Copies of this chain bind each other. A is one copy, B any other.
């Protein structure tokens, strides 16, 4: 059961069919969950903005760095050129190079890419080293390729899965979460989908209810280890150029804030934003030096900003509601969010519909 199934509504806009990143047409998500022995709790999640050859048909993109204590790969080229040319892959901090190698290999070996000699792999990460033997670097290129191959449309599995297998959020078990919003027709009718890999801290709020404070479940010293982080992927079918995608990406941090996130010093908080609009695709090669893309005017961005904030907030909460208690490395144990108690608090605060 997801948060919304309990009658809790985040924000004022409506979600799409699956309340997931995959509500954006053509988008696919895949997971490889790696649970081995007592000490390995990690994985890979892939996001495909479209099902074609992404290198040959690039998509407008931007990455916003909320707090840059992280190892995300691919930032500077996306910033310079305004586009994305590979699937997005999420994994653990120390497996970023392996994921890059896999994505590079995947791209080099796609049909039509025989002469490609430069690939900008975009890989996000959070640090699951408390529950998993991260120093062992157990993710293989095969794991990554499997996550890409597995990618599919429709409902997205949340919680202890893929790149969220071993992550921790507000001291509870975090993981993968997702949500979406569909704008009203008069605002363009576009869909905004968000997927998050949650591994950060702060003072948890659920739908504005101060859960962390009430449970006394937060660090008094706020001297977090540098293990936190949150990866946020925002896709939309609205036709946007990279400048407005960067503005959109910035708003995901506002959604994170509403869950009580504080972007602590040790947190690597990144937002990757992509427009999947077909009319905005950027062919790798073209005889015409001029491209003619429709793009939304600045003045039409506000509803998309709101949608991003709401979907990010709900995606993070969904990751907490889906996370299950896990025991990992050296017997470390992280409890799931006490959903019963939280729902009780929500009910008392009038946040659940009867």
Contacts A242-B243, A257-B257, A297-B286 given; indicate if A187 touches B222 (C-beta within 8 A).
yes
- Oligomer copy total: 4
**Do A289 and B188 contact each other (CB < 8 Å), given the known contacts A65-B76, A302-B264, A303-B222?**
yes
Q: Assess the B243–A254 pair: CB atoms within 8 A.
A: no
- From A284, which residue of chain B is reached at the shortest CB distance? B299
CB of A262 to closest CB in B, whole Å: 5
- CB of A226 closer than 8 Å to a CB of B: yes
Query: Is A265 an interface residue when CB atoms closer than 8 A count as contact?
Result: yes
Listed residue (A72, A137, A205, A226) with the most chain B CB atoms within 10 angstroms of its CB: A226
| Interface set of A (CB-CB < 8 Å, partner B) | 11-12, 65-77, 79-82, 93-94, 96-98, 100-101, 104, 108, 116-121, 127, 129, 134-135, 137, 184, 186-188, 202-203, 205, 207-210, 213, 218, 220-224, 226-227, 239, 241-243, 247, 250-251, 253-258, 261-266, 268, 270, 282, 286, 288-303, 305-306, 309, 348-350
Whether the Cβ atoms of B296 and A294 lie closer than 8 Å is no
Collect the chain B residues with CB atoms within 8 Å of residue A227's CB. Answer: 117-118
**Closest residue of B by beta carbon distance from A348:** B350
Interchain CA distance A222-B13 in the complex, whole Å: 11
Measured CB to CB, the nearest residue on chain B to A216 is B12
Write out the residue numbers on chain B whose beta carbons fall within 8 Å of the beta carbon of A251: 262-263
Which of B118, B188, B262 is A305 in contact with, Cβ under 8 Å?
B262
- CB atoms of A213 and B12 under 8 A apart: yes
B residues near A261, Cβ cutoff 8 Å:
254
- CB of B77 within 8 A of CB of A93, answer no
CB<8 Å pairs between A and B, sample of 7: A70-B76, A101-B137, A104-B137, A241-B241, A265-B301, A265-B302, A290-B297
Set of chain B residues within 8 Å of A289, measured between Cβ atoms: 188, 296-297, 299-300
15 new A-B contacts at CB < 8 Å, known A73-B73, A255-B257: A12-B218, A65-B76, A67-B80, A71-B118, A71-B121, A75-B76, A80-B247, A94-B104, A117-B129, A205-B208, A222-B306, A223-B299, A254-B257, A265-B300, A293-B293
Q: How many Å lie between the Cα of A266 and that of B300 in the bound state?
A: 10
**Once the chains bind, are B305 and A263 in contact (CB under 8 Å)?**
yes
Residues from chain B with a CB closer than 8 A to the CB of A270 are 76
Nearest CB on B from A239, distance (A) = 7
List residues of chain B with CB within 8 A of the CB of A297. Answer: 282, 286, 288-291
